[in-house]
Amino acid sequence: MEWEFLLVQALSGLASASSLFVIASGLTIVFGVTRIVNFAHGSFYMLGAYVAVTIVPWLLEFDRSPWLFFAGVLLSALAVGAMGVVMEVLLLRRIYRVPELFQLLATFGVVLIVQDLVLLAWGPVDIPGPRAPGLRHGVDIAGQRFPAYELFLIFVGPAVLGLLWLLMHRTRFGVLIRAATQDREMVGALGVNQAMLFTGTLFLGAALAGLGGALQIPRVSANPQMDLSIITEAFVVTVIGGMGSVPGAFIAAVMIGLLQAFGVLVFPKITLVLVFLLMAAVLVVKPWGLLGRPEAAAGRAVLPEGILDPGRLDGLTRALVVVAVAAVLALPLLDAYAVKVGTEVLILALAAFSLNFLVGNGGIVSFGHAAYFGLGAYGAGLLVVKAGLPMEPALVAAPIAGGLAAALFGFFVVRLSGIYLAMLTLAFAQIAYAVVFQWVDVTGGDNGLVGVWPSRWAASREVYHYMVAAVTIAAIVLLRRVIHAPFGATLRAARDSAQRADAIGVDVRMHRWLGFILAGAAAGLAGGLYAFSKGSIDPTLLGIPMSVDFLSMLLLGGIQSVLGPVAGAAAFHALKDFFLPLTDHWRLFMGLSIIAMVLLFPRGLAGAWASLRRRPA
């Protein structure tokens, strides 16, 4: 390879790094002040691009000058900043004190809403943007042509870094941002100014995301998938750099930009995997990222959000369980459609239960549980389709696949806690997704594989339903038993106080790892059953939306309850099944529902049931 070629490759890496930094800096600033990881940051980026492809061409009608182009870009950024203000005022200021998991879900609700609104406003077709006047030519660099606009982008990142530095050190607003990032207590002392600070921070953060999006329009068309693809990258940058650290985000963005530019030469298909491996490696050595600082422990002990005392089932709840099981067994008396939905509910109930084993019982907020579900499905499906094995051994392989993946990823995950842990689980799920998506020869890529059918004896919907009922109910009963057993109690103890658990002789990391593997295996089993119920597998089984579905089931059911997630899975799937065909705006509906749940009903169905039970007769 010629050095000229490497130089150009490095320059294009720096250009991507620059764009990535502009976006990630906003995310990290917002996190530093509000302590909320804002999923909707990717939506702001997407909105920046859409607003820009709308107003920039309009401005260029007047005069094709570079100044109008950049005025349009800046205007788009400001408009998106204003949307950030709307989000802060309407949503965020109501959820600063709720548990992290609910914050993540609520901001994801905004992602869903924005996706549908963008489709409504701009339609599903990609919209190409205008090229930047004055920067459309190529520049000769060591004999190679390099686009002038890319060269310009390289300078945008450092310029934004410099401007942010000035803002942070030379203005009162910036000084407050830094103070709030470093010291939580200080924010409380601000009083009235706190609201201003938080609103202003959201304006800044959203405007940076919007700027990042608007600057992209000469390079990529505005499209409705921009939000989720950028948000994972921005997460990775902020986590590697250290949440809340702007210089850290800059360093991380440069690392990732260069890694991608050169990684693509060596491993063309798995650059995404390289990026996530870098993140895992950094977090193992520096659990709070390159320039991040450990979150100071809360001064006062607070009750954990999750299962408190697993307790015994009271009479009425027991009766409810009996009725539910009877209903499951009686479904084949209704029509085939009811059987199909019932089978799916059982499978999702197992997946949700296994997730709450981590979240509710262990305080391990996994944002990528679909990875283990999906890998279980692929483990089983590939054995059937590619190796020609029958259903039975494939269903044994499913929990093994899920468990092995959980063992591998969990080894890194359990070293972290809180928001870093959630981000890492998400990142690992994206790795798994990328591998399945890109390894077309084996997995069938985007299309997936068909022909994952049950053995002959279980081929009828009804028999398969009864088999699924037997397996999932047995698995749920067993997992519930584990929650009551010393192992489950140990996970709760470690969640309540890792320091105390350590001091009584518990290897906290080891127990969390084993718990992660057990939950992964259970999710894998559910995934295997799901593959046979559908007859096919495809990458959406591992995607972020699937993980969010599982978390929504917990939210709906109630994470503080042992059996709540089962009810949540049933209610969620039944609702989805009912409404999805009726509306073109399922995401809008779902996003609004998630937000409403977080705001009004955070203890879910189990909470409602418990308060009903407590009410004097």
Partner 1 sequence: MTLLAAEGLVKRFGGVVAAKDVSFALDPGEMLAIIGPNGAGKTTTFNMVGGQLRPDAGRVTLAGQDITGIPPRAVCRLGVGRTFQVAQTFLSFTVLGNVQMALIAHHGQTRRLLADAAALHRDDALALLDRVGMAAQAARPIGELAYGDVKRVELAIALAAAPRLLLMDEPTAGMAPSERSALMALVAGIARTERIGVLFTEHDMDAVFAHADRILVLVRGEIIARGTPAEVRADPEVQRVYLGHSGTRAAERAKRAHG
Rounded Cα distance, 47 and 223, in Å: 10
Interaction pattern, residues 307-346, with partner 1; x per rule: CB under 8 A: xxx-------------------------------------
Per CB under 8 A, the list member of 1, 192, 266, 302 interacting with partner 1 is: 302
Among 370, 371, 389, CA closest to 380: 389
- Under rule CB under 8 A, residue 497 binds partner 1: yes
Per CB under 8 A, the list member of 134, 304, 332, 607 interacting with partner 1 is: 304
Neighbours of 192 (CB within 10 A): 7
Q: How far is the CB of 248 from partner 1 (least distance, A)?
A: 19
- Under rule CB under 8 A, residue 484 binds partner 1: yes
Kindly list the distances between the CA atom of residue 223 and the CA atoms of 38, 126, 177, 217, in Å, as whole numbers in the listed order: 20, 5, 33, 10
- Under rule CB under 8 A, residue 482 binds partner 1: yes
Rounded Cα distance, 55 and 132, in Å: 13
227 Cβ partners below 8 Å, 6+ apart? Answer: 42, 43, 45, 46, 111, 114, 115
- Please identify, using beta-carbon distances, which residue of 192 and 477 lies nearer to partner 1: 477
Tokens at 614, concatenated:
């407590």
Interaction pattern, residues 441-480, with partner 1; x per rule: CB under 8 A: ----------------------------------------
Per CB under 8 A, the list member of 496, 571, 599, 608 interacting with partner 1 is: 496
Residues in the chain, total: 617
Q: Is 231 helix (H, G, I), strand (E, B) or coil?
A: helix
Q: Write phi, then psi, for 479 (nearest 5 degrees).
A: -65, -35
- Under rule CB under 8 A, residue 301 binds partner 1: yes
Q: Is 417 helix (H, G, I), strand (E, B) or coil?
A: coil
- Please identify, using beta-carbon distances, which residue of 310 and 379 lies nearer to partner 1: 310
- Please identify, using beta-carbon distances, which residue of 150 and 305 lies nearer to partner 1: 305
Q: How far is the CB of 562 from partner 1 (least distance, A)?
A: 13
Q: How far is the CB of 300 from partner 1 (least distance, A)?
A: 9
Q: How far is the CB of 522 from partner 1 (least distance, A)?
A: 13
10 Å CB burial of residue 21 (0-12, 13-18, 19+) is buried
Interaction pattern, residues 62-101, with partner 1; x per rule: CB under 8 A: ----------------------------------------
- Under rule CB under 8 A, residue 481 binds partner 1: yes
- Please identify, using beta-carbon distances, which residue of 302 and 600 lies nearer to partner 1: 302
- Under rule CB under 8 A, residue 303 binds partner 1: yes
Kindly list the distances between the CA atom of residue 283 and the CA atoms of 16, 236, 290, 417, in Å, as whole numbers in the listed order: 23, 11, 8, 11
- Please identify, using beta-carbon distances, which residue of 139 and 493 lies nearer to partner 1: 493
Q: Write phi, then psi, for 36 (nearest 5 degrees).
A: -110, 130
Whether the Cβ atoms of residue 34 and residue 93 lie closer than 8 Å to each other = no
HEC letters along 255-291: HHHHHHHHHHHHCCCCHHHHHHHHHHHHHHHCCCCCC
Per CB under 8 A, the list member of 514, 526, 541, 559 interacting with partner 1 is: 514
- Please identify, using beta-carbon distances, which residue of 181 and 490 lies nearer to partner 1: 490
Sole window of 74-82, 265-273, 410-418, 499-507 interacting with partner 1 (rule: CB under 8 A):
499-507
Per CB under 8 A, the list member of 338, 493, 574, 592 interacting with partner 1 is: 493
Whether the Cβ atoms of residue 528 and residue 330 lie closer than 8 Å to each other = no
- Packing angle of the helix pair 486-496, 508-534 (nearest 10 deg): 120
- Please identify, using beta-carbon distances, which residue of 100 and 126 lies nearer to partner 1: 100
- Under rule CB under 8 A, residue 519 binds partner 1: no
Rounded Cα distance, 39 and 231, in Å: 7
Rounded Cα distance, 516 and 528, in Å: 18
Q: How far is the CB of 400 from partner 1 (least distance, A)?
A: 18
Interaction pattern, residues 351-370, with partner 1; x per rule: CB under 8 A: --------------------
Kindly list the distances between the CA atom of residue 346 and the CA atoms of 328, 371, 529, in Å, as whole numbers in the listed order: 8, 19, 10
Q: Which residues bind partner 1 (CB under 8 A)?
A: 301-304, 306-309, 481-482, 484-490, 492-493, 495-497, 499-508, 511, 514
